[in-house]
């Protein structure tokens, strides 16, 4: 049985750990709210972008655009969006499990996040680039990644570009999701990254495009790709902070439960020590008498 001093030390150590996890939980909750707001603030623009693309669909031959060209998939490029830090439950583990579904011989990877970089290097996969983003990434930072992917697709090095990221469903649920970024499989899916709801129909009467619908399509399709990747990055940040908040709350609750059990064990040990001491005193008195 552990001594009273050992139990006191364990109680103090667990309480200190609980203070750390509580602070991390509060920080993650604050960052989660900001990340959710950032993702939700992009919804009106995404819906407008979707309406424009749906309206363009019926006016031009979208199959002629190079970024919409479908080819036999011989080589695939996968952009893996992960976190930079750990302590976020099984978020990264579930994400990396999906990496194993890609053919290692024909798949190239782009890592976004320190954890995915470490995983791809450890499993010796063909990682052609890695990018680091800030906690609050800007559109221009993410655009550099999507431009790199577009160049690989247009050059013919890859026939498909996929984004693997943890889609934010709610605070308790983040689902690893594969998004086909290139070629764009359906214009109706445009703008719905991280948005729940039905596809948006083209507005009645259509839209007027100047100078021409073809030139608008040439300009808006690359921008859609940049914005889609940006939305997935925002969803990844919201998922990260949500998972970390839940993990730290669970750790804090477990620490409190452990302190309660250790306190009970300490009281029992202290009570046994007092009883033993009383018995020794009583035995000594009887011996003297």
**Tens digit of each residue's pLDDT (9 = 90 or more) over 31-62:** 888 888 887 787 778 777 777 777 776 677 76
CA distance 188 to 18: 48
Tell me the C-alpha distance between 7 and 259, whole Å.
10
Among 88, 99, 145, 213, the one annotated catalytic: 88
Rounded average pLDDT over 62-69: 75
Tokens of 187: 């214009």
Nearest-angstrom CA–CA distance, 285 and 246: 59
Q: What is the mean pLDDT of the chain?
A: 83
Domain boundaries, the chain: 4-22+248-288, 26-246
Q: Tell how far CA 175 is from the center of its chain.
A: 9
Q: What is the pLDDT of residue 162?
A: 92
- 134 has a pLDDT exceeding 90: no
Q: Return the CATH fold of 4-22+248-288.
A: Helix Hairpins (1.10.287)
Which of residues 138 and 68 earns the better pLDDT score? 138
What confidence category does residue 195 fall into, taking pLDDT thresholds of 50, 70 and 90? very low
Topology alike, domains 4-22+248-288 and 26-246: no
Per residue in 271-286, pLDDT (tens digit) is 887 887 777 777 777 7
Two structure tokens written together for 142: 């993410």
Distance of CA 210 to the CA centre of its chain: 39
Bridge partners, residue 176, by sequence: 166
Question: Is 88 labeled as catalytic in the residue annotation?
Answer: yes
Q: Does the 26-246 domain belong in CATH 3.40.1380.10?
A: yes
Contacts of residue 219, Cβ cutoff 8 Å, sequence gap at least 6: none
Q: Which helix (H) or strand (E) holds 102?
A: none
Beta bridge partners of 160: 76
Separation of alpha carbons 230 and 215, rounded Å: 23
User: Contact at 8 Å (CB) between 166 and 235?
Assistant: yes
Greatest CA span in the chain, whole angstroms? 115
247 close to 177: Cβ distance less than 8 angstroms: no
- The separation between the first and the last C-alpha atoms of the chain, rounded to the nearest angstrom, is 34
Whether 228 has a pLDDT exceeding 60, the answer reads: yes
Least confident of 6-10, 206-210, 235-239, 249-253: 206-210
Q: State yes or no: cis peptide before 211, omega within 30 of 0.
A: yes
Which pTM does this prediction carry?
A: 0.81
* Residue 152, pLDDT score: 93
The number of residues in the chain equals 289
Cβ atoms of 77 and 86 closer than 8 Å? no
User: Does residue 122 surpass a pLDDT of 90?
Assistant: yes
Query: CA–CA distance from 233 to each of 135, 182, 192, 276 (Å)?
Result: 10, 17, 14, 63
DSSP per-residue string spanning 206-243: ----SS-HHHHHHHHHHHHHHHHHHHHHHHHHHHHHHH
**Strand, helix or coil for residue 130:** strand
């Amino acid at each position: 049985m552990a001594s009273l001093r050992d139990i006191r030390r364990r109680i103090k150590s667990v309480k200190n750990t609980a203070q750390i996890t509580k602070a991390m939980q509060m920080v993650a909750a604050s960052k989660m709210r900001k990340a959710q707001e950032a993702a939700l603030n992009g919804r009106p623009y995404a819906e407008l972008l979707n309406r424009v693309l749906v309206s363009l669909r019926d006016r031009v031959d979208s199959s002629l655009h190079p970024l919409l060209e479908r080819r036999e998939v011989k080589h695939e490029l996968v952009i893996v969006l992960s976190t930079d830090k750990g302590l976020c439950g099984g978020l990264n583990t579930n994400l990396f499990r999906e990496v194993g579904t890609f053919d290692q011989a024909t798949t190239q990877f782009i890592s976004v996040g320190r954890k995915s970089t470490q995983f791809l290097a450890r499993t010796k996969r063909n990682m052609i680039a890695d990018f680091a983003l800030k906690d609050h990434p800007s559109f221009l930072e993410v655009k550099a990644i999507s431009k790199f992917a577009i160049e690989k697709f247009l050059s013919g090095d890859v026939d498909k570009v996929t984004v693997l990221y943890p889609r934010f469903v709610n605070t308790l649920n983040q689902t690893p999701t594969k998004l086909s970024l290139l070629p764009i499989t359906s214009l109706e899916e445009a703008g719905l990254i991280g948005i729940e709801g039905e596809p948006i129909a083209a507005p009645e009467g259509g839209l007027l495009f100047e100078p021409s619908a073809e030139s608008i399509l040439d300009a808006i399709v690359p921008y859609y790709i940049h914005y889609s990747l940006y939305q997935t990055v925002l969803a990844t940040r919201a998922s990260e902070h949500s998972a970390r908040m839940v993990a730290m709350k669970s750790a804090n609750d477990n620490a409190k439960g452990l302190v309660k059990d250790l306190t009970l064990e300490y009281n029992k040990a202290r009570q046994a020590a007092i009883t033993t001491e009383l018995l020794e005193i009583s035995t000594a008195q009887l011996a003297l008498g």
